[in-house]
Structure 1
Amino acid sequence: MNRIALAAAAGLALAGLAGGAVYLLGTGSGDDRFAECRTGRIGGDPAQLGGPFTLVSETGKTVTEADVITGPTLIYFGYTFCPDVCPLDNSRNAAAVDLLDAAGRVVTPVFISIDPARDTPELLAEFTGYMHPRMLGLTGSPDQVQAASRAYRTFYRVQDPEDEYYLIDHSTFTYLAFPGLGVVEVFDRDVTPEEMAARVTCFLDSF
Structure 2
Amino acid sequence: MPCAPCWRRARSRASVPIGSATGSTRCRTTIRRSWSRWPPDPGPVCAARAFGARRQCGAARRRRLFRRPANAHILQRADGRPLSSTAGAPGMSKTALLALLVALAAAVAAGGGVYLWRAGDEAHRAGATRTTGKALIGGPFALVDHTGKARTEKDLLGRFAVVNFGFTNCPDVCPATLQTISDALELMGPAAQRIRPVFVSVDPDRDTPERLKAYREAFDERILMLTGSEAAVARAAKAYKVGYNRMKPAEDGSYMVNHTALIYLMGPDGGYITHFP
Q: TM-score, normalised by structure 1?
A: 0.73
Amino acid at match of 1:3: I
Give the distance between the partners of 1:146 and 1:161, measured in 2 at CA.
20
After TM superposition, the structure 1 = structure 2 runs for residues 168-179 of structure 1, keeping only pairs within 5 Å, are 168-179=257-268
C-alpha change, 1:158 and 1:11, in structure 2 (3 Å) is: farther
Counting matched residue pairs gives 171
In the alignment, what sits opposite 1:23? none
TM-score (norm 2): 0.56
- Contact 1:112-1:139 at 8 Å conserved across structures: yes
* Bigger relative contact order (CA 8 A; separation at least 6): 1
CA deviations over 1:150-207 (Å, ceiling 9, x no partner) = 000011111114662201111111111123142211011xxxxxxxxxxxxxxxxxxx
Is 2:105 the counterpart of 1:105?
Answer: no
Q: Secondary structure at the match of 1:48?
A: coil
Deviations 1:112-171 (A, max 9, x none): 000001000011011112111111110000000000000000111111146622011111
Larger radius of gyration: 2
Partner Cα separation in structure 1 for residue 84 and residue 151 of structure 2: 27
- DSSP 3-state at the match of 1:47: coil
The question of 1:154 aligning with 2:225 is answered no
Say which structure is richer in strand.
1
Match of 2:86 in 1: 10
List runs of 5+ in structure 2 lacking aligned partners: 1-71, 77-81, 92-112
The match for 2:117 is: 35
AA partner of residue 272 (structure 2): V
Cα shift at 1:8: 7.9
Alpha-carbon RMSD: 2.5
Alignment of 1:166-205 (within 5 A): 166-188=255-277
SS in 1 for 2:258: strand
Whole-Å separation in 1 of the counterparts to 2:163 and 2:84: 18
5 Å matches for 1:57-136? 57-100=145-188, 102-106=189-193, 107-136=195-224
Shift of 1:47: 3.1
Partner of 1:202: none
Higher helix share: 2
Q: Secondary structure of 1:169's match?
A: strand
Matched, 1:48 2:136: yes
Between the two proteins, what is the percent identity of the paired residues?
33
Question: In 1, distance between residues paired with 2:159 and 2:250?
Answer: 40
